[in-house]
Structure 1
Amino acid sequence: MSHIFKKAALAVALVGASLSANAAVEANITVWANVDPTLSLLKADGTALPDAVQLVYRAGGAGLAPWSEDVRIFTNDVEKDVTVRLAADAVLRPDLAAPGAQNVDLAVSLNGRPLDTTAIEFAAADLFESAIPGASIAMPLRVQQKTSGEISHAGLYSGTVALVVAQSAGTL
């Protein structure tokens, strides 16, 4: 009888182990990277810029509150100048808005210099006098409503501010 009891106990243990193995939890994490071995545009502390920011609307004629973040350009060659431009005009488009809603033009600047789709040059000598090796000075990146004031149609507006940062062939 004891032999049968041992076999039954073994069978129960095997079933329990089998059930435990089938009840495992799997966690999946998508990992991605956008790599340019020459340049990176990051927050001043070296962390990634946010993928999305909210421009807060202030009723009463004030319009959209500006958004600003201190950034640095990280590079493998502090002797080369850097050009910066917008890939396309910065615009908020009405996605889900009242009939008649119009686009809202945005103004973007880096270190106080207005950006548009034409590249502007930042001289290496002006950028890379930093305490962080391979990093530029901290510079404010700012996005704001081009013409401040009331937006007359309620709704959800969205757009993309796409910056193109490139390393020049050499200093000028």
Structure 2
Amino acid sequence: MSQLLKKAALTVALAAASLSAHAAVEANITVWANVDPTLSLLKADGTALPDAVQLVYRAGGAGLAPWSENVRIFSNDVEKNVSVRLAAAAVLSPDLAAPGAINVPLTVSLNGRALDTTAIEFNADDLFESAIPGASIAMPLKVAQTTSGEINFAGLYSGTVALVVAQDASNP
């Protein structure tokens, strides 16, 4: 009987070894990059800005808490001025909200200057006084509810803040 148990144990061990030799794990990672060889708008530490942020709602009349992040413009030519604008008006639109919900306008500012769809210019001499080569000074990028206060309809609101950052081609 002992011989039979030894053979059974050997068979089970060989079967397990065979199964583990054929087991495999595949990991797929999607990698992407948005490349502009002239400029980058990144966090002040050089890492990417988040793809999404939550504007926290504070009931009782306060409305949405502003979001802010220190950013830098990284450039291959610190002698050129930089223009910044919004691609479209910044608003939160009701996606899944109570009937009657309306858009919530947002105000976006960079270094204390309000942005809209008309470009504003940042002077290279003021912008690139940083100790980091090729990087601008650290500047607060802020997104806030245009008019603070209650939002009268519950629900999920979303929107996109699209910034367009460009070097001044006419500047020598």
Using the size of structure 1 for normalisation, the TM-score is 0.89
Q: Distance in 1 between matches of 2:18 and 2:26?
A: 17
State how far apart, in whole Å, the 2-side matches of 1:96 and 1:16 are. Answer: 52
**Which residue of 2 is the match for residue 35 of structure 1?**
35
What are structure 1's unaligned runs of at least 5 residues? Answer: 1-8
Task: Tell me the residue number matched to 2:161.
Answer: 161
Could you tell me whether the CA contact under 8 Å between 1:123 and 1:171 is conserved in 2? no
Q: CA RMSD in A?
A: 2.0
Equivalent residue for 1:55? 55
In structure 2, what is the equivalent of residue 5 of structure 1? none
Structure 2 residue identity aligned to 1:93: S
Kindly indicate whether residue 139 of structure 2 is the aligned counterpart of residue 139 of structure 1. yes
Question: What is the CA–CA distance in structure 1 between the aligned matches of 2:142 and 2:98, rounded to whole Å?
Answer: 28
CA distance in 1, matches of 2:19, 2:151: 60
Where in structure 1 do 4 or more consecutive aligned residues deviate above 4 Å? 15-18
Map 1:64-143 to 2 at 5 A.
Answer: 64-143=64-143
* Cα deviations by residue, 1:134-155 (Å, 9 ceiling, x for unpaired): 0000000000000111000000
- Percent sequence identity is 83
Offset of 1:97 from its aligned partner?
0.4
**TM-score for both structures, normalised by structure 2:** 0.89
Conservation of the 8 A alpha-carbon contact between 1:81 and 1:170: no
Distance 1:110 1:158 in 2: 21
Once the two structures are superposed, residues 62-103 of structure 1 have per-residue CA deviations (whole angstroms, 9 ceiling, x without a partner) of 000000000000000000100000000000000000000000
The answer to whether the Cα contact below 8 Å between 1:109 and 1:115 also exists between their aligned partners in 2 is yes
